């Protein structure tokens, strides 16, 4: 007598699997997101800073001399002399800082920021119509407003040196220098441009490349340097009062 075959248990399909714990599912998703997350990338183009080393050195020297004389007058002076010395320092120190240490030009892919003695001008590249180098370096906006670039001075002596270097390269049969007009902006051979003219060439290149970029559009913004004007005005008023009373 044969026995009946035992029924085979059905295979367990996906629908019959044990339900997943929601807490475990959320934890797994967070781990995956953490693994896929990447640290933020650095800006593609950081600010390039143009300053005058000679102006900074001269300003530091003037500040050192002025502070030395002023402190000496404060300590050894008699009568109104210490007050006059204090007012003189309050008036002169901001002026020296404004014309020597403060000026700078910052450029990146979106805008040009000009820090002059008493103003800071922010110019998106789309708002700039041109940059001109003559007896001073200047930037023009689309409406014709002109701003001087104090931090990039013009050196006629440097231009003469650059012209002499160019002539020496031509005399040495340099195939590149012989095809380039001395002092011409653009594709010049190395070491034949003054530092200020080379800085202006770099700014012109960025302006031409980024003038139509969406991120480089906007209106010029001008802000007065009240941190310079305030102490200077206070020192001038105090100095005038002391001299008048005096």
Give start and end residues of each alpha helix (H) in 37-181: 53-76, 81-96, 156-171
Reading across the β-sheet that carries 48-50, which strands appear in turn?
48-50, 104-107, 111-115, 119-124, 221-224
Q: What's the pLDDT score for residue 195?
A: 80
Q: What's the pLDDT tens digit per position in 18-57?
A: 454 555 555 555 554 544 444 434 445 578 999 999 999 9
Q: What's the pLDDT score for residue 135?
A: 86
Dist CA 221 CA 242 (whole Å): 38
Dist CA 174 CA 168 (whole Å): 9
Backbone dihedral region of 79: left (phi > 0), alpha (psi from -120 to 50 degrees) or beta?
left
Dist CA 76 CA 63 (whole Å): 20
Copy the structure tokens of residue 96: 């020296």
Mean pLDDT, each 10-residue run in order, the chain (246 residues): 50 47 54 46 68 95 95 90 93 96 96 97 96 92 95 74 63 55 48 77 94 94 96 94 86
């Amino acid at each position: 007598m044969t026995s009946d075959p035992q029924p085979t248990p059905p295979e367990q399909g996906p629908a019959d699997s044990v339900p997943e714990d929601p807490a475990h599912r959320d934890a797994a998703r967070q781990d995956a997101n953490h693994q896929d997350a990447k640290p933020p990338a650095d800006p593609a183009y950081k600010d390039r800073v143009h300053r005058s080393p000679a102006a900074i050195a001269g300003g530091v020297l003037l500040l050192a001399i002025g502070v030395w004389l002023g402190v000496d007058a404060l300590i050894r002076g008699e009568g109104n002399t210490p007050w006059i010395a204090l007012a003189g320092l309050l008036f002169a120190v901001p002026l020296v800082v404004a014309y020597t240490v403060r000026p700078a030009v910052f450029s990146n892919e979106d805008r040009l920021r000009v820090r002059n003695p008493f103003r800071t001008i922010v110019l998106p590249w789309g708002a700039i119509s041109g940059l001109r180098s003559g007896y001073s370096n200047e930037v023009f906006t689309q409406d014709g407003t002109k701003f001087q670039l104090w931090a990039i001075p013009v050196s006629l002596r440097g231009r003469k040196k650059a012209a002499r270097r160019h002539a020496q390269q031509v005399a040495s049969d340099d195939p590149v220098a012989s095809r380039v007009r001395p002092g011409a902006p653009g594709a010049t051979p190395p070491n034949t441009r003054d530092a200020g003219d080379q800085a202006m060439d770099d700014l012109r290149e960025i302006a031409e490349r980024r003038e139509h970029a969406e991120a480089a559009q906007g209106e010029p913004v001008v802000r007065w340097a009240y941190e310079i004007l305030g102490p200077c005005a206070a020192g001038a008023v105090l100095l005038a009062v002391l001299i008048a009373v005096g």
